[in-house]
Amino acid sequence: MIDQNEPPKFTVGLNIGGSQTRIVVGHANLDKSDILSGFSQHGGYAFADEEDPAAGHHSNRSFHILAAAQTPHNGVRRGAIVDLESISQSIQEAVDEVERQSGLELSSARVSFSSINALSENFTESIALKSTEIRSLDRDKLQSLAKAHVLQAGFEQIATLTGHYLVDGRPGILNPVGMYGNSLGALFHRIAAPEAELQNVIRAVNHAGLRVETVGFESLAAAESVLDFDEREMGSVCINFGTYLTHVVVYSSGTPIFSKDFPFGSNHITKDIAIGLRTTQTEAEKIKRDFAQAYFNTQDAHESFTVQTAEHLGGHRQFTRGQLMHIVEPRVREIFGFIHSELKRLKVTQFITKGVILTGGGSLMPGLCWVAEDVFGTSARVGYPLNLTGVTEGLRSPLCTTAVGLLSPLFDSPEDQESSSWRLPQGGLVAWARSVWDRLKEPNEI
């Protein structure tokens, strides 16, 4: 029986986007009838009960939302924070709105992070076993070895996700405990971020009155809310089309095998429109939302619209959607072509059997899926947050996928996991962030 007097358990997802701050408050519900999709407990999901392997099998989830809010800011340029005060004020306004809606008091949040300077890598670790039966201690030792993997100077680990295990070199093992073997290994996918950029994000959140619980890489957070089991397991690429950056992650066999932020986004299309139509960026953004299509469509090509030009104050000119398409489509093809070439260079395109999932604000442009299908040679769809319940008004949108995805157990804090390789080192940035938080909460000395 639920105690009506007990405060609801909830998680806070905080996404600092290119022009908007979004906060989502709620929790994720895991369906035990689903199949484990490759992440172990050390990747953020709970292991199956060793006495009842079906007990922990899950991949799909639903998100129950208690409250949500978004506020604008001017603190990001080209994907990097340039004004801490603007970001902090935006966060505080969003927090106030959520607390007003829900009656809850927010004290901490899971925060998204993105950077073109972030590093990701795949690597394997292995250990020799002292006995022929694999124990949980062996698994934990392997995880500790992966966490100790050498990082480039000036970077902090924000995610180390466990893929499949290898027992005596045999891959594809989800849970090796209890199996016979002489050696145990695993494939890991790790993401590291520049320490200075992480500190700026944490400071902005702390100054808004929140403690940073965990930091989630934006591409992973978006994928958590839009990819279904088949897309994770059979292989897909999730492209989160942001304002200044495009966040890309490739999944295969339930595990990320590639993640990277690219230094272009929907704002590049806005600039092209402003230059091509000789108008302001504000006017170009409005034209992009109202008339732009990513794929040339002869049916709509002759439809005209009026543009306020920049040459003469109050001047106007007529353009057709066909002219606009000739500006937009080449840029979209260039963006997708660059991503495809990078994935092809790294030989991961062969794993994209379930297609391309487009999300983020830029994915709302009509025709984008057609161009993606043409460039990648596979199917494409627009990704919306899956399986939302509760207060969902305004959240069923590609704009909200990152904030919703942060509610996933993949981003559980160290306090919520007895052991996890998804965490920042306890002696590293988390310890620093909490010390900053503690100092901010102390009374000022005169």
SS3 state at 217: strand
The structural architecture, per CATH, of the domain 229-384 is: 2-Layer Sandwich (3.30)
What are the per-10-residue average pLDDT scores of the chain (446 residues)?
Answer: 56 94 91 41 33 36 92 90 94 96 93 95 93 92 87 91 91 91 94 95 95 95 94 95 96 93 95 94 94 89 87 77 94 97 95 96 94 96 94 92 94 58 38 46 42
C-alpha separations of 41 from 12, 44, 212 in Å: 21, 5, 22
Common-topology check for domains 11-116+192-228+386-441 and 229-384: yes
* pTM metric for this prediction: 0.84
Contact 382, 363 (CB under 8 A): yes
3-state secondary structure of 291: helix
Packing angle, helices 321-345 and 281-291, rounded to 10? 90
CA-CA distance, 365 to 415, in Å (whole number)? 41
Which helix (H) or strand (E) segment holds residue 195: the answer is helix 195-207
Q: What are phi and psi of 136, to 5 degrees?
A: -60, -30
CATH no. for 11-116+192-228+386-441: 3.30.420.40
Find residue 262's DSSP bridge partners: 246
- For the chain, the structural domain boundaries read 11-116+192-228+386-441, 229-384
**CB 44, CB 412: distance < 8 Å:** yes
Task: For residue range 272-316, list pLDDT tens digits in order.
Answer: 999 999 999 999 999 999 999 999 888 888 999 999 887 655 678
